[in-house]
Amino acid sequence: MNIHGRDIVTDPAIGSIVTHTGWRQKSKKYPCDVYIVSGNYLVNNLLSNFWYWRPLLDNGKLGGVEKGYGSFVVSDKEYVIEIKYKYKVSVKK
C-alpha cells in the first residue's frame, strides 16, 4: 500500500526518519519528516499506534518532542544523523 506513491510505514523503527502525513494546525507543519523517539504499533497484541517524535526543522535541527497517533510514509529525502552526547565522569579520591 502507498500514499501518493510512497510506501506506508506502520511500525517505524525507533531512531528512524519518516514522513508524518499528519494534519494541519496553526502551530504545526504537517506533512513533515520526523525522527521517531519512542512508541509502539502493538501493545499486548492490541493496536496502539501511539508514537513520540521530533520534527526535523528547516535549519536541520530537531524540534521538541511531540506525540500522537502515527500516520507515516517513507521519507522522500536522505538524511545523515550525527549524534552528540555529554557525559560526566566522577573520580573518587
Q: Distance between terminal CA atoms of the chain?
A: 62
Mean pLDDT score across all residues of the chain: 85
Higher pLDDT, 47 or 16: 16
Whether the pLDDT of residue 26 is over 60: the answer is: no
Phi and psi at residue 34, to the nearest 5°: -135, 150
Average pLDDT over residues 9-31: 81
As given in the structure block, the three cell numbers for residue 20 are 508524518
Average pLDDT over residues 6-22: 91
Cα–Cα distance, 5 to 3 (Å, whole number): 5
Quickly state the pLDDT bin for 69 (edges 50, 70, 90): confident
